[in-house]
């Protein structure tokens, strides 16, 4: 039987029997992640593969491929469909290592996990009393997981000492089904078995990452009894196999905002047979358990003076408040700053330009890992916009004052920032800025009165706050900006180590009012007013 092989991937070296489907379909069956940010519609043109053998067995190029300016032997994986029996060897282009933030600011917490040791037994605390699970076998461990739209990060934690044994990270394999939550919701809704397929992609990735870690370390999976999961509503609910279709249409709400709990075996996780998985509470709309975890990690809900949390990811969240009241909003802010809507943009890959400076007509930059430039990631794009403003090569209205309204970043690498790129970045900046302003106005506070501006997530960790403030993406309050690192992961860890923190998170989630600025009658006028790149206070 003819097979399709992906020799550069361990999973694909033995191949998979060919079936009626695209190259992307075959990769998904093998659990191989190919970039398909548009969900396989031939629009993003990022799933380029080189067909080394068996090209004649593929159907003719589609219209999307003919428009993609492909080199000889190249195809779009989402468009190249098997049409005849033959062995096919495929190599994915790109594949640069992805840089994922795993660092978080660990807080001290009184250890009170749901599962613990009593004498020579492992027991779980239940409302009715202690439930004996099994004899103690030398350790009690847990997993704290942050399921992001783009990334999957988790810590293996010793529940007896609170120590972290390992922090593991990778791209969320669901990116092969689209780079945003709307694409994932659409896939789950429109494909038979789509929800189960998306769920399996994440669960299998966790199982494989644990198995790989155990190859060079101690065996812990059979003694992992507790798991906590946070993520935006779509990501959290997919992990638990909950229907997410209600999040794809008005009023864009999850089925339930309550925390959810399942057995690990029911979800397919290869852990102790008694392991339980706790999904953190949601706020509402597209503000999820990750945003609640951000609040928990920041401690803003315990403070007298109000603060703001800004988490700019593929799905961005803003929360304003203090111990008295809090408001939250979300918007699709991260796509542009993660390269999805920018011709020269890429994610946080090795070789991505992360810092840029313009001086006397000369451009200098740094790339992730010091590799040759392959594109600009979010922090580099923010730097570039700020530098173009400072040098007056771009107006505050976002108009490039350069030949052909383009700015060449690196001619040898073919990296050019176009006017359309600037427009997309300007729109994303306006939406995120407007959410911050709207929530502060709802609360009745100006940025000068904020105690802290907390930046959560990878974007906030790596971005130049000076550049972000210069273009008006963040308030210009440098002395009060606090970078939290991966706050969602830290919040998940706190809920893993302490049942009191779980109750605290649930109370926080219930007390946050979810706001939809885009439903305000004056929203579009306000959005237009904030389209200019200028600092605000």
Q: For residue 380, with 0-12 CB atoms within 10 Å meaning exposed, 13-18 middle and 19 or more buried, which class applies?
A: buried
pLDDT band at 537 (very low <50, low <70, confident <90, very high): low
Model confidence over 156-167: pLDDT tens digits?
999 999 999 999
Q: Which whole number is the average pLDDT over 499-506?
A: 97
More confident site: 28 or 525: 28
More confident site: 120 or 93: 120
Model confidence over 109-153: pLDDT tens digits?
999 999 999 999 999 988 888 899 999 999 999 999 999 988 899
Long-range contacts of 24-27 (CB under 8 A, 24+ apart): 24/77, 24/78, 24/176, 26/82, 27/77, 27/92, 27/176
Q: Which whole number is the average pLDDT over 332-346?
A: 70
pLDDT band at 102 (very low <50, low <70, confident <90, very high): low
Give all domains of the chain, ordered by start, each with its CATH number. Answer: 3-92 (3.10.20.30), 115-288 (3.30.420.480)
Average model confidence (pLDDT) across the chain:
89
Q: Which whole number is the average pLDDT over 279-283?
A: 98
Whole-number pLDDT of residue 334 = 52
The secondary structure of 106-155 as a DSSP string is: PPP---B-SEEEETTEEEEEETTEEEEEEE--S--EEEEEEE-SSEEEEE
pLDDT band at 294 (very low <50, low <70, confident <90, very high): very high
pLDDT band at 338 (very low <50, low <70, confident <90, very high): low
pLDDT band at 268 (very low <50, low <70, confident <90, very high): very high
Distances 425 to 77, 144, 343, 525 between C-alpha atoms, Å: 28, 33, 11, 18
Q: Which whole number is the average pLDDT over 343-361?
A: 84
Structure tokens that stand for 445 in this block: 């506070």
Q: Which whole number is the average pLDDT over 11-17?
A: 88
Whether pLDDT at 518 is above 80: no
pLDDT band at 458 (very low <50, low <70, confident <90, very high): confident
Whole-number pLDDT of residue 256 = 96
Whole-number pLDDT of residue 69 = 77
pLDDT band at 335 (very low <50, low <70, confident <90, very high): low
Return the percentage of the chain with pLDDT > 90, whole number. Answer: 58
Model confidence over 30-48: pLDDT tens digits?
888 787 767 778 877 778 8
This prediction's pTM: 0.82
Lowest mean pLDDT among 263-267, 397-401, 423-427: 423-427
CA dihedral 497, 100, 284, 493 (to 10 degrees): 0
pLDDT band at 360 (very low <50, low <70, confident <90, very high): confident
Whole-number pLDDT of residue 172 = 87
Distances 172 to 294, 354, 389 between C-alpha atoms, Å: 20, 21, 35
């Amino acid at each position: 039987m003819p097979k399709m092989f992906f020799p550069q991937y361990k999973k694909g070296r033995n191949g998979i029997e060919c079936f009626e489907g695209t190259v992307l379909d075959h990769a998904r069956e093998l659990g191989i992640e190919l970039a398909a940010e548009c969900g396989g519609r031939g629009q993003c043109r990022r799933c380029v593969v080189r067909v080394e053998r068996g090209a004649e067995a593929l159907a003719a190029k589609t219209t999307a491929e003919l428009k993609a300016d492909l080199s000889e032997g190249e195809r779009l994986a989402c468009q190249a469909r098997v049409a005849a029996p033959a062995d096919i060897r495929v190599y994915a282009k790109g594949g640069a290592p992805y840089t994922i933030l795993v660092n978080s600011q660990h807080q001290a917490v009184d250890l009170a996990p749901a599962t613990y040791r009593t004498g020579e037994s492992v027991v779980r605390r239940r409302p009715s009393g202690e439930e004996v699970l099994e004899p103690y076998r030398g350790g009690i461990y847990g997993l704290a997981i942050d399921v992001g739209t783009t990334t999957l990060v988790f810590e293996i934690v010793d529940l007896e000492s609170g120590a972290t044994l390992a922090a593991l990270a990778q791209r969320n394999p669901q990116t092969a089904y689209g780079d945003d939550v709307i694409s994932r919701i659409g896939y789950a809704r429109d494909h038979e078995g789509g929800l189960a397929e998306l769920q399996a992609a994440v669960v299998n990735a966790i199982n494989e990452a644990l198995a790989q870690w155990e190859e060079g370390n101690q065996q812990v999976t059979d003694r992992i009894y507790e798991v906590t999961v946070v993520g935006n509503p779509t990501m959290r609910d997919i992990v638990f196999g909950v229907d997410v279709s209600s999040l794809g249409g008005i009023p864009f709400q999850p089925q339930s905002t309550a925390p959810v709990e399942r057995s690990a075996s029911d979800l397919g996780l290869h852990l102790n047979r008694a392991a339980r998985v706790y999904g953190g509470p949601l706020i509402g709309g597209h503000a999820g358990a990750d945003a609640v975890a951000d609040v928990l990690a920041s401690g803003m809900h315990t403070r007298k003076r109000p603060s703001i949390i800004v988490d700019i990811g593929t799905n961005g969240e803003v929360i304003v408040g203090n111990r008295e009241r809090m408001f939250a909003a979300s918007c699709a802010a991260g796509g542009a700053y993660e390269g999805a809507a920018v011709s020269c943009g890429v994610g946080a890959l090795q070789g991505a330009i992360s810092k840029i400076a313009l001086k006397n007509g000369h451009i200098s930059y740094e790339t992730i890992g010091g590799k040759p430039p392959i594109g600009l990631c979010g922090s580099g794009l923010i730097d570039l916009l700020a530098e173009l403003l400072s040098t007056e090569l771009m107006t505050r209205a976002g108009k490039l004052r350069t030949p052909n309204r383009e700015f060449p970043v690196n001619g040898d690498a073919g990296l050019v920032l176009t006017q359309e790129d600037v427009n997309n970045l300007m729109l994303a900046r306006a939406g995120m800025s407007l959410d911050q302003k709207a929530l502060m106005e709802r609360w009745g506070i100006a940025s000068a009165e904020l105690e802290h501006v907390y930046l959560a997530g990878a974007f906030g960790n790596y971005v130049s706050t000076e550049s972000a403030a210069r273009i008006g993406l963040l308030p210009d309050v440098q002395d009060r900006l606090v970078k939290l690192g991966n706050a969602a992961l830290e919040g998940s860890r706190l809920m893993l180590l302490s049942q009191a923190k779980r109750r605290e998170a649930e109370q926080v989630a219930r007390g946050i009012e979810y706001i939809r600025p885009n439903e305000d009658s004056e929203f579009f006028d306000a959005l237009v007013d904030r389209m200019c790149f200028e600092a605000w206070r």
